[in-house]
Amino acid sequence: MPSLRSSLLSLAFLAACSDGTGPDNLDLESDSPESLSEAIAAGFSITEVADFNSPWAMTFLPDGRMLVTEKAGTLHLVSADGTQRKTVTGTLPVSSAGQGGLLDVVLHPQFAQNRLVYFSYSESRSSGKGVALARGTFTDGTSPSLTNVRVIFRATPYVSGDGHFSGRIAFSPDGKLFFTNGDRQKFDPAQDPTGTLGKVLRLNDDGTPAAGNPLAARGFHPAVWSYGHRNLLGLAFDASGNLWEHEMGPQGGDEVNLIQPSLNYGWPKASNGSHYDGRDIPDHRAGDGFEPPKVWWNPSISPGGLMVYSGKLWPEWKGDLFIGGLSSQSLVRVDVNGTSASKGDQWNMNSRIREVEEGPDGSIWLLQDGQSGSQGKLLRLRPAS
């Protein structure tokens, strides 16, 4: 059973522009004996709610319970207080090598009526590996399950390797389904119009390409909304309907982007980072034909999940972005003003943060990116008393 002790824990406050370190696919889980209780000050009360084995994503059910994915392929149904959990059957076999696994999980906007749950995962097929999007109907009870599960979209092409699957899911206010496909560490496919790698996709809720995607008339895959992306691990709409995305740069150059239809975000032709072997990549520059990031970091923070905050418990942060930092072992706030953004706070969490979500009451929930018993915890943040 997880500890439910709620402690006033310290979060060493880093300067607004302080950066993390390390590229996304080279850093390892920290085994530091430091605990969250050794860090101080930002005014959070933190509760350790549950413990998982390499959790990747979470989402809240209408009654406050949670669905939590684990990288190896397990989907958990967790009580609101974290004391009870059940395995949800019906998910599909995953390829969990490298950065692959059971990835994102999101409810349909009309979940209360149709009970549809969407999940992404990496899989291996005869043509290689890739990210797939599936959905099923949630059945509650003593043995919860997803029934009528089917794959509704697969990235194209499937290729070799175990990196940059991405797989984030977000529904727009008008009910369209947005899905991220990483470049799979292959670089050039992000600029290839015929495939979906290195792209943000806009789909109908059944996985078919949505009508009106503007690049289709230019010969692009009909699902493509924007392109020139690398490893897109955060995707969220704000209250005004703006779509925010973050992605890992190479050696430096992690980005927060405002995603707009048909735009080219530059990868691998432009980046504010460099190749791992030290070779230069041209920085984003005015007039280069590529959409520049709203915010970027160098050195890297290695951004994980992304959440747009409602302001329920911290009104001063209404509309701001919260990002989990992997190599930077941090929680990062980006200040948003309309369609502009700038660096806000960065708090040291002494553990890799994979996912950030907002709870029904406005609390901030974090998933650590570690093993059960070693920084794989689900944490709830509330204002300190």
Tens of pLDDT, residues 157-197: 999 999 999 999 999 999 999 999 999 999 999 999 999 99
Average pLDDT, the chain: 90
Higher pLDDT, 166 or 40: 166
Residue 138 has pLDDT above 90, yes or no: yes
pLDDT at residue 12, rounded to an integer: 36
Omega before residue 157 within 30° of 0, cis:
yes
pLDDT(11) > 50: no
pLDDT of residue 312 exceeding 80, the answer is yes
Helices then strands, counting H and E runs in the chain, come out as 1, 26
**pLDDT of 34:** 41
Residue 223 has pLDDT above 90, yes or no: yes
- Catalytic-role residue among 164, 221, 229, 284: 164
Q: What is the pLDDT of residue 24?
A: 39
CB 231, CB 309: distance < 8 Å? no
> Is 12 strand, coil or helix?
coil
- Please, which pLDDT band fits residue 6 given cuts at 50, 70 and 90? very low
- pLDDT score recorded for residue 42: 60
Given a contact cutoff of 8 angstroms between Cβ atoms, the answer to whether 242 and 320 are in contact is: no
Q: Is residue 275 flagged as an active site residue?
A: no
**pLDDT at site 357:** 98
Nearest Cα residue to 227 out of 202, 257, 263 = 263
